[in-house]
């Protein structure tokens, strides 16, 4: 009988030993749950031109030359379009003749009024006519300068709207000139963000698709307090301290605008998005690691996405607890884990 008891004890001991030995250990990554001190939100954004202008003639006429093309770089003062000056020259000659005649009449009137041959009223009329003729002549001369469009700053021709020999009207857009170097970033913000944009505690950063590991500092440039549609409110940021010789930023580049504001909920916890376990049965959970490196499933309440890779948790997790951040779909309750540093 004693031999049977000893054999059973040995068998149980071996079975327990084999069970412990065969228990699988899952390697995981963890993070320590901490309270949020700030809230970060990401928005899809696009760079826009710092300087852009549609250029037009002040007078109507026929275009005789457009010496630039789309995408061409130009310098300040360079000619972009030229009108036929023939009609303007005729106008200059006509106003010049009228002004010369008015001056001659005024000189004759001066001699006549000295001898009281004309009245003071007639003399003043001659003076007025001469002054009007002079203004018309000077205006016609100024029109000669308006037969050319020149670049107001260094830039790139974004588009030309007319062709050579085409007749255009006053104010009709001829070319669009843009500054090729951009420091302006635009995005659309929700209404809930408007009250935070001007606060001194709000910070802005920009990450470009071209340089994903580089964060550029930015400040608020302008934003609209009204929205023309239901999509949101346009916001513009200005990049600061950018080395344009190293980072060539042009209009139309895609990026992410990051808005960082003080956290309104002091009890909220920031966790990586990869820490959230969402089974097909529903609900959102995390795996908490205890002191014996075993995991327990914990249901949590998520307030909102912080950015593209983190969430704000307002219930279900406490500060200082270890939470699994990688391998959450390979775990089961009370499983032993090995933490990868």
Same fold, 41-50+181-262 and 86-145: no
Domain 24-38+266-339 has CATH 2.40.420.20: yes
Q: Cα separation of 294 and 306, whole Å?
A: 28
Q: Could you identify the residue written with the tokens 């003043």?
A: 124
Identify the pLDDT of residue 308: 63
- So where are the chain's domains? 24-38+266-339, 41-50+181-262, 55-84+147-178, 86-145
- What totals of helices (H) and strands (E) does the chain contain, helices first? 4, 23
Q: Is the pLDDT of residue 13 over 60?
A: no
Percent of the chain at pLDDT > 70 equals 90
279-314 confidence digits (pLDDT tens): 888 899 999 999 999 999 999 988 766 666 778 888
- Nearest CA-CA partner of 160 in 66, 79, 52, 76: 66
pLDDT band at 229 (very low <50, low <70, confident <90, very high): low
Task: Take residue 32 and report the two structure tokens written for it.
Answer: 């320590």
Q: Is the pLDDT of residue 257 over 90?
A: yes
Rounded average pLDDT over 34-61 = 88
Q: What is the DSSP letter of 264?
A: S
233-248 confidence digits (pLDDT tens): 999 999 998 887 889 8
Identify the pLDDT of residue 231: 76
63-118 confidence digits (pLDDT tens): 999 999 998 999 999 999 999 988 788 888 888 999 899 899 888 888 888 888 88
What CATH number labels 41-50+181-262? 2.40.30.170
CB atoms within 10 A of CB 88: 20
Task: Take residue 35 and report the two structure tokens written for it.
Answer: 């309270």
- Topology (CATH) of 55-84+147-178: OB fold (Dihydrolipoamide Acetyltransferase, E2P) (2.40.50)
Q: Cα separation of 104 and 223, whole Å?
A: 61
Which pTM value belongs to this model? Answer: 0.53
- Topology (CATH) of 86-145: Helix Hairpins (1.10.287)
pLDDT band at 230 (very low <50, low <70, confident <90, very high): low
Task: Take residue 179 and report the two structure tokens written for it.
Answer: 């500054």
* DSSP assignment of 67-132: ---TT-EE-TT-EEEEE--HHHHHHHHHHHHHHHHHHHHHHHHHHHHHTT-S-HHHHHHHHHHHHH
* DSSP assignment of 266-295: TT-EEEEGGG-B--TT---EEEEE-TTSBE
Cβ 307 vs Cβ 256: under 8 Å: no
Q: Cα separation of 177 and 74, whole Å?
A: 9
Q: What residues contact 73, with CB distance under 8 A and at least 6 apart?
A: 154, 155, 156, 180
C-alpha of 273 from chain center: 26
Q: What is the DSSP letter of 217?
A: E
């Amino acid at each position: 009988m004693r031999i049977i008891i000893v054999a059973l004890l040995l068998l149980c001991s071996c079975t327990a030993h084999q069970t412990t030995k065969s228990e699988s250990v899952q390697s995981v990554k963890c993070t320590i749950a901490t309270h949020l001190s700030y809230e970060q939100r990401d928005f899809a954004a696009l760079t826009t031109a710092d300087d852009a202008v549609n250029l037009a003639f002040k007078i109507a006429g026929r275009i005789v030359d457009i010496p630039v093309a789309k995408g061409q770089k130009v310098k300040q003062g360079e000619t972009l379009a030229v009108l036929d000056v023939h009609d303007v020259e005729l106008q200059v000659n006509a106003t010049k003749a009228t002004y010369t005649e008015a001056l001659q009449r005024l000189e004759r009137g001066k001699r006549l009024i000295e001898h009281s041959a004309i009245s003071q009223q007639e003399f003043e009329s001659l003076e007025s006519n001469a002054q009007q003729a002079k203004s018309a002549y000077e205006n016609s001369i100024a029109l000669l300068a308006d037969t050319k469009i020149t670049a107001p700053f260094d830039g790139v021709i974004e588009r030309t709207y007319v062709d050579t020999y085409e007749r255009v009207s006053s104010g009709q857009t001829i070319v669009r000139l843009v500054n090729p170097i951009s420091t302006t970033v635009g995005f659309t913000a929700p209404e809930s963000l408007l009250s935070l944009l001007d606060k001194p505690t709000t910070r802005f950063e920009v990450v470009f698709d071209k340089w994903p590991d580089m964060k550029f500092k930015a400040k608020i440039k302008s934003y609209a307090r009204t929205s023309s549609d239901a999509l949101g409110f346009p916001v513009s940021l200005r990049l600061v301290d950018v080395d344009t010789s190293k980072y060539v930023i042009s209009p139309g580049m895609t990026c992410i605008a990051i808005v960082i504001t003080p956290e309104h909920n002091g009890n909220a916890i920031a966790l990586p998005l990869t820490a959230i376990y969402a089974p097909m049965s529903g609900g959102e959970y995390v795996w908490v690691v205890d002191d014996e490196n075993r995991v327990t499933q914990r249901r949590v309440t998520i307030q909102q996405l912080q950015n593209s890779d983190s969430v704000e948790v307002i219930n279900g997790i406490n500060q200082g607890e270890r939470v699994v951040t990688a391998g959450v779909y390979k775990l089961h309750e009370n499983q032993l884990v090995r933490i990868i540093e």
